[in-house]
Structure formats: structure tokens, C-alpha cells
Amino acid sequence: MERTVRIIGAPTDYGANRRGVDMGPSALRYAGLDAQLSAAGVTPLDAGDIDAPRAEVCDPQTTPPASGNAKFLTETEAVCRQLADEVAETLAEGHTPLVIGGDHSVAIGSVCGSAREAELGAIWFDAHTDLNTPATSPSGNVHGMPLAALLGIGAFDGVDWANASGLQADNLALVGLRSVDDPEAELLDDTDISVFTMSDIDQRGITAVTNDALAAATDGVDDLHVSLDLDWLDPTEAPGVGTPVRGGVSYREAHAAMERVADCGLLRSLDLVEVNPILDESNRTAELATELAASAFGKRIL
């Protein structure tokens, strides 16, 4: 049966420090996302964008006092509730959701929706750990908190819109880390999350690391969610991101990882996040993101 991929835009920059990532969905579409998916042998269906008011018309300090430092948390909740419903409806209709951001806080909604009717594993391809909480975040930017939210850590404990009951820490793998805050490192020591740093990739190679991440994420679950933050790649490959960190994966390493994702046959949902066209060079980061999505859905050289 031919696979259909429903594209869901989440044009937010509530969770980020540098403006412009809300234009990511437009940049990805302009970069030829439909054509890349078609070349991968799937049928793209564009659902348009969810409703996300511009940050300029919102109050960044709408955070409940008990939750600590978390900017635009009320707006993030509204977006993630919408997105979770859209993702769950997409799956119920037999399509595969592809969420295009927007900042990484939107992954709270996409994972919650994907895990609503399934035991889910997840792989986070990212330079950052995304395990800060409102109490530990130095910036208050929620794009550094989605995994803490999904796992119900700290102020997110028992928060219905943010916790993914179908995702457990032992089925979560982080690949390509190279920027970890001290409180996040302490949390990693106390959880069953599988962690693969850039040093692991340097020593063992991207294929071996991705295979191990897939094994951990898919052990005993129904399906797999992949969240791909474009700052996972080295800034020389993907300059159009808000929080670049030197020493990331190469173009071919990124494609090799996505090819392994496709080969596992369990991809249920996918995020492409943190493309910021204002910081990009001739839309090259968005173009790379569309190519990586195609590889994740099965496109090959031959």
C-alpha cells in the first residue's frame, strides 16, 4: 500500500531565543519538501499550518508562577494541544504525520499525539539534550525543555498536555549530543535514556551508533518517533539554525542515519525543527532538511 505523509506546519518561535524560526515551515515548503517526499515514493498531503499567534502579540511572562522560568508557556500549551490532536487524527486516518517547525518545543505536541494510541519509542537527533526544566533553564526558552515535558520531569510532572504516557525513558535515545547543561547531565545519570554523544559517533561511526539507538528506542514498543533538530548537523552544513554548535554530523552521516531509520520500518511520525531562514544561506538548511526527510521515508541513491 502506498504511504501518504501529511505535512503539518507549526510556525512557532515561542521556545527560541532568536527570531525567525516561525518561518521554518514556509522555508521547507519553498525548498521543495513535496517533491522530495514524492521522490522517496510517498504521497505528500499538506494540511497547512496550525494556529500559532505571533510572539509579538503575546505576553512572554504568561507562565504560572509555580512553574519557574519558562517563556510563552501558555502559548506553547495551546499550540501543542492543537498539534497533538492533529497528529493523532492524521494517524487515525492512516497517514504518517510530518511536523515541520518552528522551534523544538512543538515536539511536545507531536510526540503526545503520536503516543496517544501506541507504545512509542523516540530518537532525538540533536546537539542539545532538551532536558532542562523551568527550574533549571538558564534562558527560560521552552525549546530546551521538550523531553523534560514529555517525561513529566520537575514542574512538568502531571501536566496533561505535556506528558506522553506512551513514551518511557528506556525507549528514548539521544544521538549526537555535544552541548549539555550540568543539571541535564545529572538527570541523564538518573534516567534510563540511551545517550550517544558526538564522541561516540567519532569513535564508532554513525551507522553503529544509529543501530544501537534504534535498538534501544524500539525495544518492546509499537512504533518509532524521530525528532530531527537541524542543529544536530555541523553549522558548516546547516547554518540556518538558532543555536548552532560546532562539531556536528556531516551531510553524509546525517543521510546515513535517516536511511537506517527508513530501513527499520517502524517510523510512525517525524519532526523537522529549528530551521531559521533569517540565519540561513540561500535556504540551504531548509533544502538539506527536505532531503533528510526523503531519506527517512526511503529515498536512496539507487
The rounded percent of the chain whose pLDDT value lies above 70 is 94
Each residue of 68-97: pLDDT tens digit?
688 888 889 999 999 999 999 999 999 999
Query: What is the number of other CB atoms lying within 10 angstroms of the CB of residue 146?
Result: 33
Query: What is the number of other CB atoms lying within 10 angstroms of the CB of residue 2?
Result: 6
Each residue of 205-241: pLDDT tens digit?
999 999 999 999 999 999 999 999 999 999 999 999 9
- Given a cut of 50, whether residue 111 has pLDDT beyond it is yes
pLDDT for res 52: 82
Q: What is the mean pLDDT of the chain?
A: 93
Kindly tell me the burial class for residue 19, based on how many C-beta atoms sit within 10 Å of its own C-beta (0-12, 13-18, 19 or more): middle
Domains of the chain as residue ranges with CATH: 4-296 (3.40.800.10)
pLDDT for res 58: 60
Average pLDDT over residues 142-156: 95
Each residue of 241-269: pLDDT tens digit?
999 999 999 999 999 999 999 999 999 99
Residues belonging to the active site: 104, 126, 128, 130, 143, 229, 231, 274
The phi and psi torsions of 135 (rounded to 5 degrees) equal: -80, -25
Rounded Cα–Cα distance for residues 192 and 168 (Å): 9
Each residue of 271-302: pLDDT tens digit?
999 999 999 999 999 999 999 999 999 999 88
pLDDT for res 70: 85
- Given a cut of 80, whether residue 201 has pLDDT beyond it is yes
Average pLDDT over residues 58-63: 55
pLDDT for res 64: 45
With H, G, I as helix, E, B as strand and everything else as coil, classify residue 8: strand
